[in-house]
Amino acid sequence: MPLFDLPLAELQTYAPDVDEPEDFDAFWQRTLDEARAHDLALRVEPAEAHLRHVEVYDVTFAGFGGHPVKAWYSRPAGVTEDLPVVVSYIGYSGGRGMPWETTLLPSAGYATLRMDSRGQGWSVNLPGHTPDPVGHPPAVPGVMTRGLDDPEGYYYRRLFTDAARAVEAARELPGTAADAVVVSGASQGGGIAIAAAGLVPDVAGLMPDVPFLQHMRRAVEIVPTSPYSEITAYLATHRDAAERTWRTLSYFDGVSFASRGRAPSLWSVALMDMTCPPSTVYASYNRYGGPRDIEVYTYNGHEGGGPFQTGRQLAWLRERFG
Question: Which one is catalytic: 184, 187, 250, 265?
Answer: 187
Q: Name the percent of the chain in helix, strand, coil, to the closest 5.
A: 35, 20, 45
User: Quick one: which of 253, 288, 308, 296 has its CA closest to 272?
Assistant: 296
**CA 4 – CA 218 distance, rounded (Å):** 13
Angle CA 314–281–94, to nearest 5: 65
Q: How many helices (H) and strands (E) does the chain have?
A: 11, 9
Q: From the candidates 5, 117, 284, 302, give the one annotated as an active-site residue.
A: 302
CA distance 282 to 86: 24
Q: How many CB atoms lie within 10 A of CB 204?
A: 18
Among this protein's residues, is 149 annotated catalytic? no
Start-end of H helices in the chain: 8-11, 24-36, 104-107, 155-172, 188-199, 216-222, 228-237, 242-249, 254-258, 278-285, 307-321
Catalytic residue among 58, 149, 162, 273: 273
Known active-site residue 273:
yes
Active site residue 302: yes
Q: Where does residue 75 rank: exposed (0-12), middle (13-18), buried (19+ CB within 10 A)?
A: buried
DSSP of 258-301:
HTT--S-EEEEEETT-SSS-HHHHHHHHTT-SS-EEEEEETT--
Contact, 73 vs 113, CB < 8 A? yes
The residues annotated with a catalytic role in the active site are 187, 273, 302
